[in-house]
Amino acid sequence: MSEFDYDLFVIGGGSGGVRAARLAAGLGKRVAVAEEYRFGGTCVIRGCVPKKLYVYASQFPEHFEDAAGYGWTVPEATFDWKTLVANKEREITRLEGLYRKGLENAGAEIIEARATLVDRHTLDVGGRRVTADKIIIAVGGRPNPHLALPGHEHCIFSNEAFDLAELPRAIVIEGGGYIAVEFANIFHGLGVDTTLVYRGKEILSRFDQDLRRELHATMEAKGIKILCHDVLTEIEKRGEGDLLVHLKSGKTIEASQVMLAIGRLPNTEGLGLEAAGVETGKGGEIPVDNYSRTNVDNIWALGDVTNRVQLTPVAIHEAMCFIETEYRNNPTEVDHDMIATAVFSQPEIGTVGLSEDEAAKRFDRLEIYRASFRPMRHTLSGRQEKMLMKLVVDGDSRRVIGAHVMGPDAGEMAQLLGIALKARLSKDDFDRTMAVHPSAAEELVTMYAPTYRVEKGERVG
Ligand code: NDP
């Protein structure tokens, strides 16, 4: 019998923590998982899941418009924000229940309290002391509150955006990453006067230039105002739901809500990390090795709190590597290479591998295959939006090292492209693949000749 109360104690009931706890308990380990808020974590409660539901909600006005070209007459539509919020809440409550059930069925103990570390094997859970052989810290992150911004207390973050009492009349969103771009499209689609303010030259700084430019242009054509090279300098409250946003450029914008989406910070404060000897990095994140182990050899950290790649499937993968390594005698390093990802903007972006610019820094010769076309659906709808597809190919090995799609279902395509790129398939494999017709994705296997080449960073031909 072990000297500890538990074989494994998991702090945090999000994607990574729940997966590790459930699998370990399923293997017969004595497991507890502590969560201070709601099971499911950011992804289920106030991230990916409600976000995608709101994306669907915000797309209906365009669907109604597009229907006319197909012969439909749609009566004037009205939207009720409170219905959406209530229905979203019902769905995430259902999912939260499934997470709990999965843990219970596997035999993990659920502790609804904040857990903090007392030493490397001891935890305080709501005033009670427990001990564990191994500990996983999977406490996630929270929006950067931007405390240096005068008037930051008048701002909301993605957490609050889902549950606003009323849909804002006008919103200013700061940031140019996933959250800012997705929410700008959601609010605009729901009829809110939307302005996006981004400090850099072009939104979505880590994505391929072509997609960034096209998405920017398409969002503007829909009516979203995008101000680049600018930042918020003050939020002035003039009354209830009446804010004046001051920008560095000297411009001012009136808004009923201001949302900040300028990145997320790890939730490591007050966790007792020092007491347990766990080191943190400059931004409060917990550095770990390739097996997610911290500097303390019986303590691991998974997911957003490590600030490696802040994505749900990555946290889940990290949890599974932990289980393989520690409980299945199969040492498995975390593999962060070639992670496919989607931005649920409108139109959507799906991407995997290197952007053209990144590839040009690492490879001497590139072939770029690029197609821009109007998706078939829009031929009768009359919508002018283009679809964009781009493959970045290493000119020497012919391996496809980047695949980028903007348009309907781009996220779904990215998942499958992810398999092809992970398998290190070559452009010849793509060329040998029969097209699915008529589809938009067929373009990915029918771009036979390069649009241009890049040699030593310079575009040629
Ligand atoms: P991101 O890192 O994607 O974007 C942060 C944005 O804020 C960047 O545009 C950044 O600019 C800007 N920024 C950073 N600091 C400041 C500052 N001080 N002043 C002004 N602007 C600033 O973070 P998000 O908050 O959008 O999302 C957090 C994470 O959540 C993402 O990294 C992603 O991993 C995950 N996520 C994933 C989603 C998905 O998979 N679809 C959806 C939502 C979130 P710059 O580019 O110049 O650095």
Check pLDDT > 70 for residue 57.
yes
Q: Decide: 341 in ligand 1 pocket, CB within 6 A.
A: yes
Q: What is the pLDDT of residue 288?
A: 98
Which H helix or E strand runs over 311? none
From atom 9 of ligand 1, which residue's Cα is the shortest distance away? 176
CA distances from 293 to 146, 288, 319, 373 (A): 30, 5, 11, 47
> Mutation test of ligand 1: which of 231, 310, 314 has the most ligand atoms closer than 8 Å to its C-beta?
310
As a whole number of Å, the CA-based R_g of the chain is 24
Token digits of residue 341: 């990802």
For residues 44 and 33, give the distance between their C-alpha atoms in angstroms, rounded to a whole number: 17
Q: Are 317 and 335 within 8 A, CB to CB?
A: yes
Distance 451 CA to ligand 1 centre (A): 31
Q: What is the mean pLDDT of the chain?
A: 97
Q: Which fold has domain 341-460?
A: Enolase-like; domain 1 (3.30.390)
pLDDT at 311: 97
- Asked if residue 344 has its Cβ within 6 Å of ligand 1, the reply is yes
The response to whether residue 46 sits with its C-beta less than 6 Å from ligand 1 reads no
405, 210 in Cβ contact below 8 A? Answer: no
CA distance 351 to 342: 6
Q: How many helices (H) and strands (E) in the chain?
A: 13, 23
Closest Cα to atom 35 of ligand 1: 310
Taking CB atoms within 8 Å and a gap of at least 24, the contacts of 294-297 are 294/137, 296/120
3-state secondary structure of 247: strand
State residue 356's pLDDT score.
98
Is the pLDDT score of 251 beyond 80? yes
Nearest CA, atom 7, ligand 1:
262
pLDDT tens, position by position, 163-216:
999 999 999 999 999 999 999 999 999 999 999 999 999 999 999 999 999 999
Residue nearest to atom 18 of ligand 1 (CA): 262
159 Cβ inside 6 Å of ligand 1:
no
Q: How confident is the model at residue 428 (pLDDT cuts 50, 70, 90)?
A: very high
Residue 435 has pLDDT above 80, yes or no: yes
Going by the DSSP 8-state scheme, the letter that residue 278 receives in this structure is -
Q: Do 6-143+265-327 and 152-262 agree at the fold level? A: yes
- Looking at residue 159, its pLDDT comes to 96
Contact in structure between 103 and 14 (CB atoms under 8 Å)? no
**Which amino acid makes up residue 17?**
G
Q: Is residue 235 within 8 Å of 147, Cβ to Cβ?
A: no
The H-or-E segment that residue 428 falls in is helix 427-432
Ligand 1 and 342: CB distance under 6 A = yes
> What is the value of pTM for the model shown?
0.97
Q: Would you call the peptide bond into 438 cis, given omega within 30 degrees of 0 as the criterion?
A: yes
Digit-coded pLDDT (tens) for 85-96: 999 999 999 999
Q: Is residue 231 in contact with ligand 1, taking CB distance under 6 Å? A: yes
Burial (CB count <10 Å: 0-12, 13-18, 19+), residue 120: middle
The amino acid occupying position 97 is G
The pLDDT assigned to 301 comes to 98
> Rounded to whole angstroms, how far apart are CA atoms 345 and 367?
27
pLDDT digits (tens, 9 = 90+) for 326-358: 999 999 999 999 999 999 999 999 999 999 999
From residue 454, give the alpha-carbon distance in Å to each of 317, 354, 450, 461: 35, 14, 10, 8
Distance between CA atoms of residues 163 and 184, nearest Å:
16
pLDDT for residue 449: 97
Closest CA to 403 of 460, 455, 447: 447
Take atom 2 of ligand 1 and give the residue whose Cα is closest. 263
Strand order in the sheet with 242-247: 232-239, 242-247, 252-255
205 touches ligand 1 (CB under 6 Å): yes
Token pair listed for 262: 């300028």
Q: Which of 146, 152, 174, 199 to mutate to test the pocket of ligand 1 (most atoms within 8 A of CB)?
A: 199
Residue of minimum CA distance from atom 36 in ligand 1: 178
Residue range 72-77: average pLDDT?
A: 96
Q: Dihedrals φ, ψ of 115, to 5°?
A: -110, 135
For domain 6-143+265-327, the CATH superfamily is FAD/NAD(P)-binding domain (3.50.50.60)
The verdict on the CB of residue 140 being under 6 Å from ligand 1 is no
Residue 200 CA: nearest ligand 1 atom is: 47
Q: What is the pLDDT of residue 2?
A: 81
pLDDT at residue 427 tops 80:
yes
Question: Which DSSP symbol is given to 156?
Answer: B
- Ligand 1, pocket-test mutation among 44, 147, 179, most atoms within 8 A of CB: 179
Look at the block and give the residue holding tokens 């080449």.
453
* Separation of CA 179 and ligand 1 centre (Å): 6
* Confidence at 223, pLDDT banded by 50, 70, 90: very high
Q: Is 369 helix (H, G, I), strand (E, B) or coil?
A: strand
What percentage of the chain carries pLDDT values higher than 90? 99
Q: Token pair of 323, please?
A: 């289980």
CA of 21 to the centre of ligand 1 (A): 29
* Backbone φ and ψ of 85, nearest 5°: -60, -45
Q: Class of 152-262 per CATH?
A: alpha beta
- Mean pLDDT of all residues in 376-402: 97
Cα(461)–Cα(452) distance, rounded to whole angstroms?
Answer: 5
- The domain locations on the chain are 6-143+265-327, 152-262, 341-460
Q: Over pLDDT 70: what percentage of the chain?
A: 100
Q: Tell me the catalytic residues.
A: 437
* Contact 310 CB / ligand 1 (< 6 Å): yes
Task: Give the position of tokens 């500990």.
Answer: 135
Under the banding of pLDDT at 50, 70 and 90, the label for residue 1 is low
Greatest Cα pair distance in the chain = 72
